[in-house]
Structure 1
């Protein structure tokens, strides 16, 4: 689980650096964006390798009905995540659509994975996303998007369904069928 925890720590550190140390982050300027991107890719690789290598230590046994709840929440998560980029009607009501979508994604995964490694991974990412929302809310006033339309919501839904299909395909390719069976 060492790689999993290191990956999670690197993810949190790379994302939070801008919030907890704005001065040093500003001093490294645009080249710092490339460094942060490399750290984030490395963190994802560490989390994947660590999660796949972690021993299965059961904490609880999720009921099978939660798989359906999870799948519905995945549609919602991908949709909400995409609303921020498409400037739909929801983006004028929801300050952090991408972090909110990420929060829904992490929480839904906690519903269907009852092992310790999943609790560390998805629980850690859920706590990070909520902390990130709190830090942003505390440090910056919100400028609501002025130009929004239902078209943005429809595009977000279509793109979200496509991305969910791709994510489901990757899960199946990795040997984990998110739809059961």
Structure 2
């Protein structure tokens, strides 16, 4: 249990301290944005592997017993999370976590549909939806920590962008990019949303038809039969 808690703390610190200490702003001019993204993604992936392996070695302490309805929660929520993640990855997003930053003064209309934090929303929905069918202490701490990280990340990015852009400029920018996904529908026909959303649904179906069992060791479809 100590190793698991430590892995969570290190993971959260690795995603909070670079912003607090402005390490990102210092390193990107030196090594370039692509190199920084590769290194940071590698670090995040390595820490995530550590968390999962530490969780697997931890003790099983049941908090509630399993019921079939609990397995339906991630099955119902994950299509939305998948669309948000993959579509959000394709849309330039200078306001939050993203693979394409873009210009803060030119917010794509698609971003208004997805929300200004589509990847964080995807991460949070994934984490929250996996709590009900995993009623043991380590799973609740694992998914709860990730959900908290996503929630605090959205507030953190909003505060950071207000500081960098100025409050008036930030308010003007976010007027076209809401906090809640899919509130605005005018950008639904943009290529990024259609392609990313389709890819997200394909990946979701792959997980439902064997990929989840192969990668995670649990078959979500078998749980609801």
TM over 0.5: yes
In the TM superposition, what is the alpha-carbon distance from 1:3 to its structure 2 partner?
A: 3.5
Q: 1:36 to 1:156 in 2, by over 3 A?
A: closer
Alignment deviations for residues 73-123 of structure 1 (CA, whole Å, 9 cap, x no partner): 011111111221344965214110000011110000012111011111100
Match of 2:25? 26
CA contact (8 A) 1:6 1:43 kept: no
| 1:78 paired residue number | 82
Deviation readout 1:11-70 (Å, 9 max, x if unpaired):
212222232221x44223336545433321221111111122222111122431121222
Do residues 107 (structure 1) and 128 (structure 2) align?
yes
Match of 1:111, SS?
A: coil
More helix by share: 1
CA–CA separation in structure 2 for the residues paired with 1:65 and 1:8: 28
RMSD: 2.5
Cα distance in 1 for partners of 2:10, 2:138 equals: 17
Say yes or no: does 1:5 pair with 2:9: no
- Asked if 1:98 is matched to 2:119, the reply is yes
Equivalents in 1 of 2:52, 2:87: separation in Å? 27
* Residue among 156, 169, 194 paired with 1:135: 156
Query: 1: CA distance between counterparts of 2:200 and 2:116?
Result: 19
TM-score (structure 2 length as normaliser): 0.69
Q: How far apart are the structure 2 equivalents of 1:25 and 1:152? A: 27
Deviations 1:122-161 (A, max 9, x none): 000000111110111112134547x945143332232112
Q: Say if 2:83 and 2:196, in contact at 8 Å, map to a contact too.
A: yes
| Number of equivalenced pairs | 179
Q: Which residue of 1 aligns with 2:212?
A: 171
Structure with the greater alpha carbon radius of gyration: 2
Evaluate the alpha carbon distance shift between residue 28 and residue 171 of structure 1 in structure 2; reply closer, same or farther with a 3 A threshold: same
Matches within 5 A, 1:137-152: 137-140=158-161, 141=170, 142=173, 144=176, 148-150=187-189, 151-152=191-192
Matches of 2:109 and 2:39, distance apart in 1 = 34
Which runs of 5 or more residues in structure 1 are unaligned? none
Where does the alignment leave 5 or more consecutive residues of structure 2 unmatched? Answer: 92-107, 162-169, 178-185
For 1:33 and 1:95, locate their aligned partners in 2 and report how far apart those are by CA, in whole Å.
20
Q: Give the 3 Å change call, closer, same or farther, for CA 167–3 of structure 1 in structure 2.
A: farther
